[in-house]
Amino acid sequence: MNRSLFRRDALPLLLLFLALVAATTATDALLHRLELVWIGRYLGIPGTLLILLSMRYSLRKHGLIAQGEPRRLLRQHEALAWLGSLLVLVHAGIHFRAILPWLATAAMLVNILSGLTGKFLLPRARRHVEERRGRMAARGLSGDQMDAKLYWDALMLDAMANWRTVHVPIALAFAGLALAHVLSIFLYWSWR
Ligand code: HEM
Ligand code: HEM
């Protein structure tokens, strides 16, 4: 990745993702310390509910509900999905027996990364490239010269602009896998 793009634009994304990992580890450690590890098994439920609640944005966007200001719902989508994922991650941390819920967890993580890309990386990176272009124009560079200098930035922008083609289908895969996990839990009731 282009160094300047990385330093200026990718940092908040990485920090929020690392914050998720750190908060998961800290919560898990706390539950262990308090000998409340069993709670983790139940955290899948509030976690799933928070993620479902965050989907109000999508319902509003497609006109399925009329209430709520879209921009506020989008902020809520980001925050609630982050928080719900934290609970689900603590929940998932208990052990490794079944493959299905781990696939759901992987899909969820990919979604968080693509969501953060769409929120932070893309708009900031666009602004950064526009600024550079503006400075070059002021120095009197020709269009071709600017394109050559901005080649890697432009390539990065193209790749990042695809975040939505990851975010939405992976969300559907996540929903399917999570549903299968929840159904199998309730069918076989394996809460041991
Ligand atoms: C209503 C929501 C949920 C309920 C009631 C629930 C319930 C459970 C239960 C009872 C277990 C323990 C299974 C066992 O001991 O064999 C479990 C394990 C697990 N759950 Fe959930 N869960 C929910 C949502 C989720 C979601 C949304 C994810 C992932 C995105 C998830 C990921 C996992 C993982 C990774 C495990 C560990 C599986 C293993 O043993 O390897 N769960 N869940
Ligand atoms: C469990 C995790 C997540 C799931 C399952 C998820 C799912 C979705 C879905 C299905 C949409 C499409 C809405 C629509 O077009 O109807 C969406 C949109 C969006 N998500 Fe997420 N998301 C998650 C986490 C995040 C996070 C952590 C962020 C950022 C911090 C984020 C940022 C966005 C943004 C900016 C949009 C707007 C797309 C648009 O309308 O242009 N998402 N999300």
Q: Is ligand 1 within 6 A of the CB of residue 93?
A: no
Q: Is ligand 1 within 6 A of the CB of residue 171?
A: no
How far away, in angstroms, is 115 Cα from ligand 1 center?
Answer: 23
- pLDDT at residue number 191: 56
How far away, in angstroms, is 42 Cα from ligand 1 center?
Answer: 8
Q: Which ligand is nearest to the CA of 178?
A: 1
- 25 pLDDT band, cuts 50/70/90, is very high
In whole angstroms, give the CA distance from residue 90 to residue 140.
55
In whole angstroms, give the CA distance from residue 178 to residue 160.
27
In whole angstroms, give the CA distance from residue 7 to residue 11.
6
Average pLDDT over residues 14-29: 92
- pLDDT at residue number 1: 47
44 pLDDT above the threshold of 90: yes
- 158 pLDDT band, cuts 50/70/90, is confident
3-state per-residue secondary structure call for 83-145: HHHHHHHHHHCCCCCCCHHHHHHHHHHHHHHHHHHHHHHHHHHHHHHHHHHHHHHHCCCCHHH
Q: Is ligand 2 within 6 A of the CB of residue 108?
A: yes
- 43 pLDDT band, cuts 50/70/90, is very high
Give the domain range for residue 52: 3-188
How far is residue 14 CA from its own chain's centroid?
11
Q: For 87-131, write each residue's pLDDT tens digit.
A: 999 999 866 677 889 999 999 999 999 999 888 888 888 888 899
Average pLDDT over residues 49-73: 95
Sign of the alpha-carbon torsion through 167, 173, 179, 182: negative
Number of domains in the chain: 1
Q: Across all residues in the chain, what is the average pLDDT? A: 89
b/e string for 120-156 if b means 16 or more Cβ within 10 A? Answer: bbbebbeebbeeebeebeeeeeeeeebeeebeebeeb
Q: For 163-190, write each residue's pLDDT tens digit.
A: 888 899 999 999 999 999 999 888 886 5
Q: Is ligand 2 within 6 A of the CB of residue 60?
A: no
